[in-house]
Structure 1
Amino acid sequence: MEEAGQSREEISAQMLSSCPNRARRKCSLSRTAGLTGREGQVARGSRDDSSPQEPCYLRNMISKCRWKLLAMLAFVLVVMVWYSISREDRYIELFYFPILEKKEPCLQGEAERKVSKLFGNYSQEQPIFLQLKDYFWVKTPSAYELPYGTKGSEDLLLRVLAITSYSIPESIQRLKCRRCVVVGNGHRLRNSLLGEAINKYDVVIRLNNAPVAGYEGDVGSKTTMRLFYPESAHFNPKVEDNPDTLLVLVAFKAMDFHWIESILSDKKRVRKGFWKQPPLIWDVNPKQIRILNPFFMEIAADKLLRLPMQQPHKIKQKPTTGLLAITLALHLCDLVHIAGFGYPDAQNKKESIHYYEQITIKSMAWSGHNVSQEALAIKRMLEIGAVKNLTYF
């Protein structure tokens, strides 16, 4: 009966002594939950006084230093924002050239002087277009085959040069300073509203079969030169070009000379040897046709893309018509601007690469063009100021 009559204080003490340290707090709470009045207050007071303090140094440190941490975070955010803005400004400065109301000062030979940092002494004065006398009267064999030279294709070329021309229009020759724009075919031209600005340049160079009709507000309507190869020739050139537009053939293979000769001389058409069927009827004036000097293909491949001239692979890497057109412009013009260059990111597989049709970057897989390497080459030209961009790149 005496054991049964033990005081509640003694029973509580025994319970606490049997609890682990971490559990004693719970035991104390359960004990004191049954106590009321002064006994409960004394029991809680005696327990609180005797129990060890819970570790809280980390919480105290964070509490005391919270304002310092917030200040450091704010500083880091400010630095990140400043860096991003400065990089964006630099990006715009290098790769984007907004249209100005007044013409940019044009200095004769300025473009070629700047690009000499890339071309070096390798780039000397070269004829833009091939002419008959260079092959008929002077027997100077080319060092490379097409597209970097004419080795092995001289006989075909002679027949083509006999019915075409090579002169640069007098309206361009008499200019003291030639302002040129190379209009690419990129998707970023869509809704650009650059048409009016593009028409103001002295020389407007276009590529392949890129249309003008229906897109005049974005790409303009003036075409001084159009670079093409048989597979990229527009089936009705009079629709997309001006009456005085020069159609400049970029020959990638000997069959290209066969095609242009059969068209201009109305001979039996060549149907094989092309990756895509070129036009079999092509309504053009032979005096509008020019044959681009393969020198520009060679220098674009060698100096801009570091490609070997002799490539053993079946599908050889070669510059695009766009990069070739920029290289040509840097030798023909004193001021060179570009628009509509650049491809979507490789991850963006659904965005069109052209402003006028829905084909994606996947179509470039077997083209023999290294678009990433070409992007770096164009960025180098932008950085040194040899060309300026009318669209973002």
Structure 2
Amino acid sequence: WCLRLFPAFLFCWLTQKKWESLNFRQTRLFLKLDDFFWRERLSRLALPYGIKGSLECRTCVVIGNGFSIKNTSLGSIINKYDVVFLNDAPVRGYEDDVGNKTSMRLFYPESASSNPTLHNEPETLMVLVPFKLQDLRWLKEILYNEKRIRKGFWKPPPLIWLGDPSKIRVLDPHFLHQTAERLLHIPVHSSRQKPVHPTTGILAVFIALNYCDVVHIAGFGYPQSNNQKHPIHYYGYDTMRSMKNSYHDLNHEAVALKKLEDAGAILYLHPHL
């Protein structure tokens, strides 16, 4: 029986490799009910090759954590967008600048808030961005109340998470790969001792460009790197010095955002460098 099965398995494996080499495979086969009502965008094309334009224009805004949004009073404007993307940063107390509408939050264990309900609406989707195997393991342990493993994190993640499990999603690594390779041109198979990964902010911009008709951004841009004491977030006390050993290349991302802006793909809501 095993000998009869093996040739079929080998044929399947070889065929799979051929398909992968053609880059035909996609992450999902069927439209969901939500897609039918145009709550998501699967393509930048109209029918018959995509569903874009099947209903009214979908506007999205991506809010970064940068100090540049502080004291901008953009909150009321941000709340008017159809979809608001945020990183896992505080909203309460900063509503004047960042609004209080939270459609989708990108987070990883080290950035997670133990009580997401403090800064989110009930329908906010919490999207885990898995940078490493421990991230998925952390989520499983949280959801199934298993013994927590604390090793493998650069900062202790919360051991208790009070959010709604039905609102958790895990981002397909396809988007991390495409952000790194197509937008930032970062080698994904690098021999460098220290890897470079996209920030969740630039990742959210790439996701929005895939799913939205209009993409505006705010809160992106860091101070000049020679000013190590300048705050980098609209909240807290972190400065540019804290980015010294980061896994991100902020200058590289700034160049990518400038190219998107020059191409008209994104629009800033406030002045920036």
TM-score by length of 1: 0.56
Partner residue, 1:180? 60
Q: Which one of 78, 87, 90 corresponds to residue 211 of structure 1?
A: 90
Report matched runs for 1:1-393 at 5 Å: 172-173=39-40, 176-208=56-88, 210-393=89-272
Q: Secondary structure at the match of 1:226?
A: strand
Q: Secondary structure at the match of 2:105?
A: strand
Deviation string 1:254-299 (CA, Å, 9 cap, x unpaired) is: 1111000010111111211100010100012221011111111111
Any conservation in 2 of the 1:172–1:202 contact (CA below 8 Å)?
no
Deviation at 1:169, TM superposition (A): 11
The alignment-based identity, stated in percent, is 49
Q: Amino acid of the residue matched to residue 231 of structure 1?
A: E
Any conservation in 2 of the 1:225–1:248 contact (CA below 8 Å)?
yes
Deviation string 1:57-109 (CA, Å, 9 cap, x unpaired) is: xxxxxxxxxxxxxxxxxxxxxxxxxxxxxxxxxxxxxxxxxxxxxxxxxxxxx
Q: Amino acid of the residue matched to residue 298 of structure 1?
A: H
Q: Secondary structure at the match of 1:180?
A: strand
Any conservation in 2 of the 1:181–1:336 contact (CA below 8 Å)?
yes
For 1:278 and 1:171, locate their aligned partners in 2 and report how far apart those are by CA, in whole Å: 35
For 2:193 and 2:206, locate their aligned partners in 1 and report how far apart those are by CA, in whole Å: 26
For 1:168 and 1:350, locate their aligned partners in 2 and report how far apart those are by CA, in whole Å: 46
For 1:357 and 1:269, locate their aligned partners in 2 and report how far apart those are by CA, in whole Å: 28
Any conservation in 1 of the 2:229–2:241 contact (CA below 8 Å)?
no
Unmatched 5+ residue regions in structure 1?
A: 1-139, 144-166
Whichever structure has more helix as a proportion of its residues is 1
For 1:375 and 1:180, locate their aligned partners in 2 and report how far apart those are by CA, in whole Å: 20
Deviation at 1:385, TM superposition (A): 0.3
For 2:191 and 2:140, locate their aligned partners in 1 and report how far apart those are by CA, in whole Å: 29
Deviation at 1:312, TM superposition (A): 2.6
For 2:214 and 2:130, locate their aligned partners in 1 and report how far apart those are by CA, in whole Å: 26
Residue correspondences, number: 232
Partner residue, 1:124? none
CA RMSD of aligned residues (A): 2.3
Q: Secondary structure at the match of 1:261?
A: helix
Flag the 1:321–1:168 CA change in 2: closer, same or farther, 3 A. farther
Flag the 1:250–1:175 CA change in 2: closer, same or farther, 3 A. farther
TM-score by length of 2: 0.80
Q: Amino acid of the residue matched to residue 192 of structure 2?
A: H
Could you say which structure has the larger radius of gyration?
Answer: 1
Unmatched 5+ residue regions in structure 2?
A: 1-15, 21-33, 41-53
